[in-house]
Amino acid sequence: MSKFAIAVHAGAETVKRAEVTKELENRYREGLEEALQAGNAVLEKGGSAIDAVAAAIERMEDNPLFNAGKGGSLNLHGENDFDAAIMDGHTLNVGSVGSVRYVKNPIKLAKEIMIRCKHSFLSGTGAEEYALTQGLELEKPSYFVTEEKQKEWHESVLGDHRQKSHDTVGAVALDQHGNLAAGTSTGGLENRLKGRISDTPIIGGGTYANNPYCAVSCTGEGEVIMRGATAHEVYALVKYAGEKLEKAADKAVTMYEELLQGDIGLIALNQQGEVAFAFNTNLMKRGYSISGKKPHIALWDTEKL
């Protein structure tokens, strides 16, 4: 059996450690492990990296703990909308979706766009209509709104309109055929303007995969990641500067830190099955598994993987 691997993230943020209870930590770890198991189930059977990435992200979209799909952050009007992207490192085919409201699993729509659509990026009602043509599952708006996110939104409306939550979920995978894939999905910034699109569906911004080099999924403050073309920066450092994956990941996060100030995190994977995590926050929900072995999971910057 050839080596296969998967890594996932569920957001990078700078938080007060006391705000994250032990119970919440345990639930984060369980959610990450479930996502890794979903991806591994595909890879162990010889499935594609694309299918593994989609399976892992779908599991996190269904988990109300994470800011993607159910449990996504609310915009300034108290509404949910979602961005997602997926990229095939073998073909360089991509599917991106922006500002969709009713699609239960935005990563599924991104995958359908990549496989079947003549375009690479659909947004808003056009993307939702395409989801209907593909028979994807839709949900009413209330499905996505959790009590916690509703409370956060009410507090922010009454308070100072701080943009707090900016978690994102993502996965990168290597299949037994040696192909890489990357995918990312997000509920966006809390209190964002209606119509705002994150870095997540921007190919080279929050998502990128290219077989000989690496697959990357980013998380953090979207405007910062978009401006830095962070996912592509990792690829460029590996390809053109000959950097090892871990060093390339670290450099991509810090390279323009004087100009791009904000939370940034990423996961990366190459064809050798090497995994890299880089972030400038104290919390980065992350994990990986190599060839179906026991998952390694971490949350805090003091934990090493």
Percentage of the chain surpassing pLDDT 70?
96
260 occurs within a structural domain: no
Of 159, 139, 157, 160, the C-alpha closest to 72 is 139
Residue 202 annotated as part of some ligand binding site: no
Residue 220 annotated as part of some ligand binding site: yes
Using only C-alpha atoms, the chain has a radius of gyration, in whole angstroms, of 17
* Active-site pick, 125, 168, 186, 302: 168
Of 270, 135, 261, the C-alpha closest to 212 is 270
Where residue 163 falls among pLDDT bands split at 50, 70, 90?
very low
Query: Can you tell me the distance from the alpha carbon of 229 to that of 33, in angstroms, rounded to the nearest whole number?
Result: 29
pTM: 0.96
Q: Are strands 296-300 and 214-220 parallel, antiparallel or unpaired?
A: unpaired
Q: What DSSP assignment string belongs to 155-197?
A: HHHHTT--------EEEEEE-TTS-EEEEEEE---TTPPTT--
254 occurs within a structural domain: no
| Cβ atoms 113, 95 nearer than 8 A | yes
Q: What is the mean pLDDT of the chain?
A: 94
Domain count, the chain: 1
Task: Please indicate whether residue 168 is annotated as part of the active site.
Answer: yes
Query: Can you tell me the distance from the alpha carbon of 242 to that of 253, in angstroms, rounded to the nearest whole number?
Result: 17
Q: Are strands 180-186 and 169-174 parallel, antiparallel or unpaired?
A: antiparallel
Residue 199 annotated as part of some ligand binding site: yes
Instruction: Check residue 274 and give its pLDDT.
Output: 98
271 occurs within a structural domain: no
Range of the domain at 178: 5-204
232 occurs within a structural domain: no
* Residues in contact with 279: Cβ distance below 8 Å, sequence separation at least 6, in sequence order: 12, 220, 253, 263, 264, 265, 266, 301
Instruction: Check residue 167 and give its pLDDT.
Output: 81
The count of other CB atoms within 10 Å of the CB of residue 119 is 11
Where residue 164 falls among pLDDT bands split at 50, 70, 90?
low
Average pLDDT, stretch 170-187? 98
